[in-house]
Amino acid sequence: MQPQHTKFSQVKFFMLEEGRLSALELRSSVPEPVVEWKIAYQVGEHIPGSRDSFTRGGYIIASSDSKALVAKAIDDFYSRIVWKIDKI
């Protein structure tokens, strides 16, 4: 008996460079397959830089009944987030 997959999920992590987060903008609404997203810093905060799994800057999680839709939603949503990090 083979397991049947009814949902597919994917996580994308933000690996951010060190500096001060000077701007953060979402260019459109969150697409439906994206179920959760978070950036761990607020504008004005210092980002120590991402070096490993403990210092990631945030994440996007998407889930759907289509593996292709999940992958596309993650990539599309990621490209809609605009941030500016000033080097210190």
pTM of the model: 0.85
Question: What sign results for the dihedral spanned by CA atoms 67, 68, 70, 75?
Answer: positive
For all residues of the chain together, what is the average pLDDT?
92
- Residue 34 domain flag: yes
- Residue 1 domain flag: no
**Tally of domains in the chain:** 1
| pLDDT surpassing 90 at residue 31 | no
Does an H or E element contain 11, and which? strand 8-14
CATH number at residue 48: 3.30.470.20
66 Cβ contact list (under 8 Å, min separation 6): 8
pLDDT at 75: 94
